[in-house]
A and B are shown apart, each in its own frame.
Chain A
């Protein structure tokens, strides 16, 4: 693993250098080209009513309500519940320190901003995590759905549930068959992993607070620090989401769109994908 350098656009480069990178990031295909490809491949209209649209509508509604704190609390609670349920199962399976998982769940809840509110609400409404394995396998995305023959698709609450990303990968040494280890005892590597995850949560908490205070430059600075500090970040989707919001707050739409594209590229099934789609206008 290597440390990624600060990207040229975020570094102290010259205006020309930054304008070149920025121009490359901003270039987008026309919507008509995308539509033509959907038609050519024979799937135009398949996603005419996506879960993303529903989720982003919810996000917009929550945002427009002017009560983000209340929305965040409500959505966040649902998210916390869902996350706790999901991660608890995974935690039991993986033997990860439950306190850390609770902290992660707390972060997901407390850190709920507009986009997260939407996805949290989706999770909360269904309340069906117990019947939906938490991202048991990537193949569950899209392929496990019994797509209706008649379009548009059904509301996709279930889809969202299936698409909840797997809990952060934590390396845990499986216990030997015999003799049985002390209950709840973690291997040193697992302890380190839990500690590292806790540090990630704290780092993102700080960034979220800066964002909540309306300090976009500080938020971005903290997020840069996060990506530099953690070589294998397990909460990168959340970091990207905060980065997207920070750029939006800053008025840097091109960078926000670039982050949205990255979320869709790398974490298309994350809870923040809906916000990313909305940013890119893919929910329309």
Chain B
């Protein structure tokens, strides 16, 4: 359990708490989804998101108002990276494949279908370089504009546009290949 507020810079807790609580309330979903789409499994996502906000609480006095998103973004990537490395080590230790290719067969149940769609989405995203994946997720999933992404990621907007173009092309091409395989599968013997 963290005791962050006592460490939150020179600001009195009474002033910091509402800002922090609102930050968590409003951005928890964003951080959680960002972690999920950057490779953190659902089973770890809650704890990972909590780590991000504990870090934010410890640094709240240093986070310039207006730059909270950028802080949460970079912290989430850092936490996510640590978790991904941990999972990779587990794979090596136990010789198991944690991320099997999802079953592409159509599902009858809508919930199952949604779950499979997310699995497939994550599988496709995982094949994308992280810098492309992040821009893709922020644009297509979180629906930020390029300018907003540039601000959050701390990258020139031209670079964001370039990465987004490559990411969308990459993603669309992979989806097209899956559809072709499905079509071929249906037509096969």
Q: Which residues of A contact B (CB under 8 A)?
A: 1-2, 4-5, 7-9, 13-14, 16-17, 19-30, 33-34, 36-38, 40-44, 46-47, 50, 137-139, 141-143, 145-149, 153, 227, 232, 236, 258-259, 261-262, 264-266, 268, 273, 277, 280, 282
Contact = CB atoms under 8 A, between A and B. Distances in A.
A17 B158 contact: no
A25 B19 contact: no
Contact of A37 (B18, B28, B37): B28
B19 A141 contact: yes
A268 B72 CA distance: 15
Interface string B21-34: 11011111110110
Given A23-B121, A24-B137, A42 B5 contact: yes
A165 B33 CA distance: 27
A258 B45 CA distance: 19
B32 A29 contact: yes
A14 B175 contact: yes
Contact of B22 (A5, A34, A142, A236): A142
B80 to A, nearest CB: 14
Given A7-B140, A38-B25, A266-B148, A17 B175 contact: yes
Contacts of A282: 25-26
B15 interface: yes
B178 interface: yes
B164 interface: yes
B28 to A, nearest CB: 5
A21 B33 CA distance: 13
B172 A8 contact: yes
B32 A1 contact: no
B3 interface: yes
Contacts of A264: 26-27
Q: B interface, how many residues as a size bin?
A: 35 or more
B46 A29 contact: yes
Contacts of A138: 65-66
B124 A20 contact: yes
Contact of B27 (A1, A7, A137, A265): A265
Contacts of B147: 1, 232
Given A138-B65, A141-B65, A40 B2 contact: yes
Contacts of A38: 21, 24-25
B28 A33 contact: yes
B15 A143 contact: yes
A146 B144 CA distance: 32
Given A29-B32, A280-B29, 8 more contacts: A28-B29, A38-B25, A42-B3, A142-B15, A142-B22, A262-B143, A265-B142, A266-B148
Interface in B36-84: 36-37, 45-46, 49-50, 53-54, 57, 65-66, 69
Nearest to A231: B147
Contact of A16 (B49, B141, B175): B175
B146 A2 contact: yes
